Amino acid sequence: MNDSTPLKRNRRTAHRTGCAVEATISVIGGVWKPVILFHLLDGKLRFNAICRLTPAATPRMITLQLRELEADGIISRIIYPEVPPKVEYELTQLGRSLAPVLVSMCEWGEKLQELSGLPVDTGACRSTLRQEAVLQEKTA
C-alpha cells in the first residue's frame, strides 16, 4: 500500500450507549494511543522517535494507531518534500485539548503503581506538561 495515499475513514461514534466516556474511549482507547499522544504533548515527533519511546509496540501497530488518530483529527501528519522523505506527527488543536486527560492518566497510574507495590518510573512520563504539574504540586 502506498503511504502517500490518504485513507478515508469515518470518525467512530459512540453508538452503543451514547455516553461521552464511550465517545472518548472510541477515539483514544487502547494500549498505545494514549502513550503516543502523551509523548506528542511535548511537540512534533518523527516515526522512529515514537517507536523508540514505545519499544514494546511493533512499528506496524504504531503505524495503525497513528493512522487512526490522524483519521479522527487528533494528530496531523506533516510530510516534508525532501530526499529522503521526512514525516513528522503533531497534535492538532483537538488533540492538545486531551492534555489534562493524559496528564491525569499518568498521575493516576503512578498512584496505582505505588498502591500495587510496583516500581514507579516517573521517567516514563516524560511530558513537559507532566513535569510542570509535578513542580506545581511541590511548590503548592
Asked if residue 11 belongs to a domain, the reply is: no
* Structural domain that includes position 111: 20-137
Nearest Cα neighbor of 76 from 64, 65, 88 is 88
**Mean per-residue pLDDT, 32-51:** 94
Identify the CATH number of the domain in which residue 107 sits: 1.10.10.10
| Measured distance CA(116)–CA(40) in Å, rounded | 28
Cell numbers describing residue 16: 452503543
Report pLDDT digits (tens) over 6-39. Answer: 445 555 555 677 788 888 888 999 899 999 999 9
Q: Is there a domain that residue 60 lies in?
A: yes
Task: Give how many domains the chain has, as a whole number.
Answer: 1
Calculate what percentage of the chain has a pLDDT beyond 70.
Answer: 75
Instruction: Look at residue 80 in the predicted model and tell me its pLDDT.
Output: 92
Does any domain span residue 122?
yes
Helix axes 128-139, 99-116, angle to 10 degrees: 70
Higher pLDDT, 77 or 113: 77
Judged against a pLDDT cut of 80, whether residue 114 lies above it is answered with yes
